[in-house]
């Protein structure tokens, strides 16, 4: 406006991260109720989540802070109350997932910090107090008091493995020795943490972007020569989608991965999808790939049965071919079936070999893990 002409400015990555958006500004207050043995009975949390002038995630129908209800973490807490107030402030937009995911990271930090404080107050080892409170493997699927359904997990094993890997008991003994030595030059800090994330966004019944459900999709077309092209609604950012998706198709439909072209990101040809973020590409788009591949396989089985002059019920899929049950020497390869799909299909079956699938996941995914950090302090 001042110069009366266009101005070109290219910001550096550092400038972008410091002035264009911010990942988090959460003000959290938490309380735990526990018995004298350190078994947690209840959790209460209040959060004020600053999201700047507007939400950078393009989903005004739901605050990203809503995912904070994973804050019960890996623990079997019977009672919980969580209040999250999302607020607009005179700042650049918030909720950008750089340097780890917003909302989930804060939730993990809060519960793990509270467990550490509890362990210190009761004089219980921080690893032991976690082992006492974990959701047990036989309790899955487990519904948290805040309504999330964890599909699976083995938190006890994860923590025990990392404790064994670092020889935790020996580290504790060394830590105590240094503390007792008034001449020790270095002290030792030991951190223990478990996490359960909420990713794989997501079920349309629980989240959306601008009112569009968070499904994802895949379109597969098998050519007469047995090669194929697969189109997805995601876009790779270096995660290796092409390899992952091709391997899924190879496993489910018997087409060699080297003969599968994977195409992403072309909005003029790709089926509708909700993109790549939140660790969702494999569990959501990958599931659509698997389901579309199975549709291909089922139609190919009918064509193979026609070529073998058999009932489809008597034909089985085996790696890269369709075999007549009880007669392993009688089969048709996927490549042969692909050719027949365009010139010799059974009556009532349309020509071609392609499929489209839209997958709306019934739930999120809940990956988990354990860390031990050892730090020498001068």
Q: 254 with 187, same domain?
A: no
| Sheet of 354-359, strand order | 260-264, 228-232, 216-222, 354-359
Angle at 201 between CA 196 and CA 203, to 5 degrees: 110
Q: 187 with 219, same domain?
A: no
DSSP 324: E
Q: What is the pLDDT of residues 16-65, one digit of tens each?
A: 777 777 777 889 999 999 999 999 999 999 999 887 887 666 554 455 56
Q: 182 with 267, same domain?
A: no
Q: What pLDDT score does 140 carry?
A: 97
Q: What is the C-alpha separation between 58 and 201, in angstroms, rounded? A: 14
- Say whether pLDDT at 158 is over 60: yes
Q: 32 with 169, same domain?
A: yes
Q: 97 with 142, same domain?
A: yes
pLDDT category at 104 given cuts 50, 70, 90 is confident
Of 192, 176, 263, nearest in space to 228 by CA: 263
Q: What pLDDT score does 250 carry?
A: 98
Q: What is the C-alpha separation between 259 and 204, in angstroms, rounded? A: 34
Coil/strand/helix, residue 7: coil
Q: Residues 6 or more apart from 240 whose CB is under 8 A from it? A: none
Q: What is the C-alpha separation between 283 and 221, in angstroms, rounded? A: 22
Average pLDDT over residues 229-237: 93
Q: Quick check: 71 and 112 in contact, CB under 8 A?
A: no
Of 89, 88, 86, 99, nearest in space to 16 by CA: 99
Q: Can you read off the two tokens belonging to residue 175?
A: 């830590």
Q: 116 with 50, same domain?
A: yes
- Say whether pLDDT at 219 is over 80: yes
Of 306, 282, 287, 279, nearest in space to 366 by CA: 279
Q: What is the C-alpha separation between 295 and 299, in angstroms, rounded? A: 6
- The residue with tokens 């079920």 is 203
The DSSP bridge partners found for residue 194 are 370
Q: Can you read off the two tokens belonging to residue 222?
A: 């098998």
pLDDT category at 92 given cuts 50, 70, 90 is confident
Mean confidence (pLDDT) of the chain: 91
Q: Can you read off the two tokens belonging to residue 192?
A: 């223990």
- Say whether pLDDT at 122 is over 60: yes
Q: 259 with 146, same domain?
A: no
For residue 207, the Cα-to-chain-centroid distance in whole angstroms is 15
Query: In the chain, how many domains are there?
Result: 2
Q: What is the pLDDT of residues 338-363, one digit of tens each?
A: 999 999 999 999 999 999 999 999 99
Coil/strand/helix, residue 248: helix
Phi and psi at 156, nearest 5°, equal -60, -50
Domain termination residue (choose one: 137, 157, 191): 191
Angle at 304 between CA 298 and CA 306, to 5 degrees: 110
3 in a structural domain: no
Q: What is the CATH number of the domain that holds 345?
A: 3.30.365.10
Q: Can you read off the two tokens belonging to residue 157?
A: 């094993």
Q: Cβ-count burial of 142 within 10 angstroms (0-12 exposed, 13-18 middle, 19+ buried)?
A: middle
Q: What pLDDT score does 93 carry?
A: 77
Q: 350 with 245, same domain?
A: yes
Q: What is the C-alpha separation between 348 and 22, in angstroms, rounded? A: 58
Q: What is the pLDDT of residues 300-321, one digit of tens each?
A: 999 999 999 999 999 999 999 9
The pTM for the full model equals 0.86
Residue 115, H or E segment: helix 104-122
Q: What pLDDT score does 60 carry?
A: 42
Q: What is the C-alpha separation between 145 and 216, in angstroms, rounded? A: 29
30 in a structural domain: yes
Of 48, 42, 51, 50, nearest in space to 28 by CA: 48
Q: What pLDDT score does 202 carry?
A: 78
Q: 30 with 115, same domain?
A: yes
Q: Residues 6 or more apart from 50 whose CB is under 8 A from it? A: 25, 26, 27, 87, 89, 91, 94
Domain termination residue (choose one: 136, 159, 191): 191
373 in a structural domain: no
The residue segments making up the domain with residue 32 are: 17-191
Q: What is the pLDDT of residues 130-149, one digit of tens each?
A: 999 999 999 999 999 999 99
Q: What pLDDT score does 66 carry?
A: 65
- Say whether pLDDT at 212 is over 80: no
pLDDT category at 102 given cuts 50, 70, 90 is low
Most confidently predicted of 8-22, 167-181, 209-223: 167-181
Sign for the pseudo-dihedral over CA of 278, 279, 285, 287: negative
- The residue with tokens 């519904």 is 143
Q: 74 with 185, same domain?
A: yes
378 in a structural domain: no
Q: What is the C-alpha separation between 369 and 27, in angstroms, rounded? A: 25
Integer-rounded Cα radius of gyration of the chain = 27
Q: 231 with 323, same domain?
A: yes
Q: 187 with 224, same domain?
A: no
């Amino acid at each position: 406006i001042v110069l009366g002409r266009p101005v070109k400015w290219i910001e550096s990555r550092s400038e972008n991260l410091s002035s264009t958006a911010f990942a988090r500004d959460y003000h959290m207050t938490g309380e735990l109720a526990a018995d004298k043995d350190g078994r947690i009975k209840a959790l209460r949390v209040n959060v004020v989540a600053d999201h700047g002038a507007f939400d950078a995630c393009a989903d005004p129908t739901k605050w990203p802070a809503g995912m904070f209800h994973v804050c019960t973490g890996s623990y079997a807490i019977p009672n919980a109350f969580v209040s999250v107030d999302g607020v607009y402030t005179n700042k650049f937009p918030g909720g950008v997932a750089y340097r780890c995911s917003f909302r989930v990271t804060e939730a993990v930090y809060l519960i793990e910090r509270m467990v550490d404080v509890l362990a210190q107050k009761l004089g219980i080892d921080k690893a032991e107090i976690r082992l006492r409170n974990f959701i047990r493997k036989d309790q899955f699927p487990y519904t948290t008091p805040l309504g999330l359904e964890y599909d699976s997990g083995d938190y006890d094993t994860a923590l025990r493995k990392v404790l064994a890997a670092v020889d935790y008991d020996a580290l504790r003994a060394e830590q105590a020795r240094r503390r007792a030595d008034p001449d020790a030059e270095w002290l030792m800090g030991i951190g223990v943490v478990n996490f359960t994330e909420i990713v794989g966004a997501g079920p349309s019944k629980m989240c959306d972007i601008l009112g569009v459900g968070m499904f994802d999709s895949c379109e597969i077309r098998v050519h007469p020569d047995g090669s194929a092209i697969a189109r997805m609604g995601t876009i790779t950012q270096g995660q290796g989608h092409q390899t992952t998706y091709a391997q899924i198709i190879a496993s489910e439909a018997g087409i060699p991965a080297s003969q599968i072209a994977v195409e992403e990101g072309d909005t003029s040809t790709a089926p509708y999808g909700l993109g790549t973020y939140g660790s969702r590409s494999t569990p959501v788009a990958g599931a659509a790939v698997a389901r579309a591949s199975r549709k291909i396989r089922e139609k190919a089985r009918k064509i193979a049965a026609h070529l073998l002059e058999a009932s489809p019920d008597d034909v089985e899929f085996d790696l890269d071919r369709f075999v007549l049950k009880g007669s392993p020497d009688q089969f048709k390869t996927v490549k042969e079936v692909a050719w027949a799909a365009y010139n010799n299909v059974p009556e009532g079956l349309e020509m071609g070999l392609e499929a489209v699938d839209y997958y709306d996941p019934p739930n999120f995914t809940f990956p988990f893990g354990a860390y031990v950090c050892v730090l020498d302090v001068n």
